Amino acid sequence: MWVLVSFFKTMPAELEQAAYVDGASPFQTFYMVLLPLAAPGLVTTGLLAFIAAWNEFLYALSFLRSPENRTITLAITLFEPETAVGSSFLVPWGQIMAATVVVTLPLIVLTLIFQRKILAGLTAGAVKG
């Protein structure tokens, strides 16, 4: 939310006033003028919120006990070791690492796709003037 607040504060008020002078309604001003300019900030905020929700572990551990309703991070940490002959305390590190890589791939792909918008959104509210 703070990223969006600082992003919208950096937008010049003259753009909104010019849209009103041209006869645009408040909704048209927001939809046709302000929203396209806010796209980098919206993408950045959305991706940061998605990553935070994706990596949430403690909340899921506290409230989601049934196997059908587990998040990915919780399911990975609760992998059951396969019973081996002689030891029942083996941790399936290979399966855990493979699942971690597969789960991380969507975040990497989204970051690479929206890299320019993320950078523009993070730096937009940083400089005044």
- Predicted pLDDT of residue 88: 60
All structural domains of the chain with their residue ranges: 38-124
Report the alpha-carbon distance of residue 83 to residue 81 in Å, rounded: 6
The number of beta carbons lying within 10 Å of the beta carbon of residue 45 is 19
Contact between residue 26 and residue 42 where contact means Cβ atoms under 8 Å apart: no
What is the model's pTM?
A: 0.55
More reliable by pLDDT, 80 or 36: 36
- Average pLDDT rounded to a whole number, residues 20-42: 85
- Predicted pLDDT of residue 108: 84
Report the alpha-carbon distance of residue 37 to residue 108 in Å, rounded: 25
Highest mean pLDDT, choosing among 86-95, 103-112, 118-127: 103-112
- pLDDT tens for 47-96 read 888 878 777 777 777 777 777 777 777 888 877 766 555 566 677 788 88
Residue 20, exposed/middle/buried by CB under 10 A (0-12, 13-18, 19+)? middle
State the alpha helices, DSSP H only, in the chain: 2-9, 13-21, 26-29, 35-37, 39-54, 58-63, 72-77, 93-113, 115-124
Judged against a pLDDT cut of 70, whether residue 129 lies above it is answered with: no
Report the alpha-carbon distance of residue 72 to residue 75 in Å, rounded: 5
